[in-house]
Chain A
Amino acid sequence: MRCFIILLALGWNGALFAQMGTPVGNDLDPVPLTETELKEIFLGNKSIWDNNNPVTVVLTSSDSEGFAKVAGWALEAGAFEFQKHWLSIVFQGRANAPVFLNSEEEVLAYIRGHKGAIGLLYTLPVPPELTVETP
């Protein structure tokens, strides 16, 4: 019973289970990217790649499971806090707004068509041409 309660509590806070998804990107530089560097990107702390492509963060919608997973991994908080974080830094004028899409299929399609775009996949396989190397 105690284990069940602990598991329930952990499950309630998705952040504790959060793992990085598989990064996908189009014409990023530099690569490979460490997990720490990827976190900074998904927190809005990087805006230009070394090859001069703009960083465009692509996420699934704020009520999706994927968004909550990215939130837990990058901010170590829930989707709610992650949404507030992005809203705040865009309002400050210190970051460009991320692109929100309805599904991982749409995320992949967007990244395929936009240089500098980066996202995380949790369910779909990553096409080789969009693979982001990690150490």
Chain B
Amino acid sequence: MFGHFTANVELENDEQFSELSMGEHDFFVQSKVTPRISFLSETIVAPVSDDHHGGADFRVSIERARLKYQYSEWLSVIVGKMHTPVNYWNDVYHHGRLFFPTIDRPRAFGSHVPIHTLGLRLQGQNIGKLKFGYDLVIGNGMSANDISDNNFQKSVTAAVHIKPEKQTRISISAYRDVLFENKGGSHSGHASSGHLTMGEEGWLPVDLDYELYCFSLYRNKGKWEILTEFTLNRTKLASSNDAELIASLGNPDATANTTTYLYAGRKLGNRNSLYVLGDRIRTQTQDFHMKSNDLLKVGIGWQHEFSALVKTQIQAERYTGRDGFEIPADDKWELKVRLAYCLY
């Protein structure tokens, strides 16, 4: 079981806030059913999301449930609900806060990255000297939920990586889906206030072609650990829309939205590290799915690992950005303390 507690102090526009929160608790199971078939699941119990993690209100969610048949190193067939392997963070960390190099997930996680897919995955890994790996996923897209997908269209993810050295991974991926009627379902992860939702000014019930391209670099060698995540999202009106509607909207070009996340940590002895982070998101004005913004977060933190299974992090962050977009520039400071753990 993975779990965490977090304390947060925030200073915004001369107002101060503070909170203590108990985060989601993640019950992880991995089991070998036969020599070639394995099962993996993650079920979380999490506080109901609101701005203040209210009361004793919890929800239960099956975040992963997948059966894997391993034919060889170069081919495994996986069926079920999985983390969409578009970038390093979503593939490697996701709910495992014990593994998070920084307290928060990158901003791309709540905005651009389709966090789950329910479907079929072909996977190969550790192929050849460069330890090439690939993942090809076809499944319910971002408009779907865990029990239904009311259209024939399926999302497609194609990802490749190499591991040229121990604890080094370089990966690129492409993801494509159609967002029907501009709705994000439970797999999109697009629940943040940065998205246009029904009833809001600017929201239109149009079908959108959604493309995402990601680059990730992770390296942990010697005293240094680094992680870079870059995403490019292109959204445009899908051909399934009425031609007159497209014309009336002025045949807009595809938007090009980007996120960049950088982490660099310097180990201080066996159990401590000092790190810096930067996280920038830029969404263009004419995007139909997301509110436009240009936001930047930078921070510095310290991590202490009591053991391989318990660690604490303290992180100071400065949120800022540029005005002139639907989401105004942030202007706040935050100080966070996190205790993350795993029991097994």
Binding site for B on A (CB under 8 A): 40, 43, 45-48, 52-54, 62, 75-76, 78, 80, 83-85, 87-88, 90-94, 96-97, 116
Number of interface residues of B (CB under 8 A): 32
Contact check: which of A62, A84, A88, A94 meets B125 at CB < 8 Å?
A94
State in angstroms the CA–CA spacing of A45 and B197 once bound together: 44
Is B91 part of the binding interface, using a Cβ–Cβ cutoff of 8 Å? yes
CA A83 to CA B99, docked complex, whole Å: 12
**Is the pair A40, B72 in contact by a Cβ cutoff of 8 Å?**
no
Interface stretch among B30-38, B145-153, B239-247? B30-38
Q: How far is the CA of A96 from the CA of B270 in the complex (A)?
A: 27
Give 29 A-B contacts (CB < 8 Å), ordered by A residue: A45-B126, A45-B131, A47-B70, A48-B36, A48-B70, A48-B72, A48-B73, A75-B166, A75-B167, A76-B166, A78-B270, A80-B271, A80-B307, A85-B167, A87-B309, A90-B30, A91-B99, A92-B92, A93-B30, A93-B40, A93-B64, A93-B66, A93-B68, A93-B78, A94-B125, A96-B30, A96-B38, A97-B30, A116-B35
- What is the bound-complex CA distance between A54 and B68, given in angstroms? 13
When chains A and B are docked, how far (Å) is the Cα of A21 from the Cα of B112? 47
Q: Does B28 contact A (CB under 8 A)?
A: yes
B35 lies within 8 A of A53 (CB): yes
The CA-CA distance from A90 to B98 in the complex, in Å, is: 14
Chain A residues with Cβ under 8 A from B125's Cβ? 94
Question: Which residues of A lie under 8 Å from residue B308 when comparing CB positions?
Answer: 62, 80, 83-84, 87
Chain B residues numbered 226-273 whose CB sits less than 8 Å from any CB in chain A: 270-271
A75 closest partner in B (C-beta): B166
Which residues in B have their C-beta under 8 angstroms from that of A80?
270-271, 305, 307-308
Q: DSSP majority for the A interface?
A: loop
B interface residue numbers (CB < 8 A to A): 28, 30, 32, 35-36, 38, 40, 64, 66, 68, 70, 72-73, 78, 82, 91-92, 96, 98-99, 125-126, 131, 166-167, 270-271, 305, 307-309, 342
- Bound: A130/B3 CA distance, A: 41
Contacts A80-B307, A87-B308 hold; do A92 and B91 have CB atoms under 8 A apart? yes
A135 to B226 alpha-carbon distance, docked (Å): 37
**Given A45-B126, A80-B308, A83-B308: A88 in contact with B35 (beta carbons within 8 A):** no
Complex Cα spacing A94 to B76, Å: 10
CA of A76 to CA of B307, assembled, Å: 18
Inter-chain CA distance A91–B98, complex, in Å, is 11
